[in-house]
Copies of this chain bind each other. A is one copy, B any other.
């Protein structure tokens, strides 16, 4: 239990709670939705031996790209790392263990952990290379693959708006994996551009109810990675 009125945190304190060797989900598809400020703080604090779960590897000089480059990441569960040549190089050199999943299965495996189940049964990829290593089962006369859920110790997510209880609203294509990950980790740390008083968000428009959020950290759009990139365009 995280008490409602103890969620607003400094970025230092929030990230300091992450131990070496943690299994960490990181929101974002490319840059949108990536919690750049939280990741930069994680880089600064020096946690190592990390397992990261993220749709992609960002680019070499931003987001989890920086953590990979600094050798902090032992293992990456992902869908596509084509925009990060360093990550591909680290993988090919055997310094970074990479598990690749089809994007929709990765999303669904995370969502399944967030829903509190063991796994799901799917026909995706049955006759392809990814079927190797999956356990299959017959149901109703057809073959299905068992896809176990993927959970994490910590989720780092980026929201557009939060309230002090930890309710989150995402924006645009920055939604992506964030609400799924917020539900699938034991603890969720959210960064948001703005943290409002409870009651300021429309109940129907809240994507992640506060029950799934442990800490919220306010980040400045101008000094965050997104902000820096905005000024560079």
Q: How many residues of A contact B (CB 8 A)?
A: 29
Residues of B within 8 A of A204 (CB): 169-172, 175, 205, 207
Q: Say whether B118 contacts A123, CB under 8 Å.
A: yes
| Highest count of chain B CB atoms <10 Å: which of A142, A148, A205 | A205
Residue A95 CB within 8 A of the other chain: no
Residue A13 CB within 8 A of the other chain: no
- Closest B residue to A144 by CB, please name it: B118
Residue A49 CB within 8 A of the other chain: no
Within 8 A of B (CB), among A13-48: none
Partner of A119, one of B116, B121, B135: B121
Residue A139 CB within 8 A of the other chain: yes
Interface residues of A, Cβ cutoff 8 Å to B: 108, 112, 115-123, 135, 137, 139-140, 142, 144, 146, 148, 169-172, 175, 202-205, 207
Seed contacts A170-B204, A205-B205; 7 additional CB < 8 Å A-B pairs: A118-B121, A118-B140, A118-B142, A119-B121, A119-B144, A137-B137, A139-B148
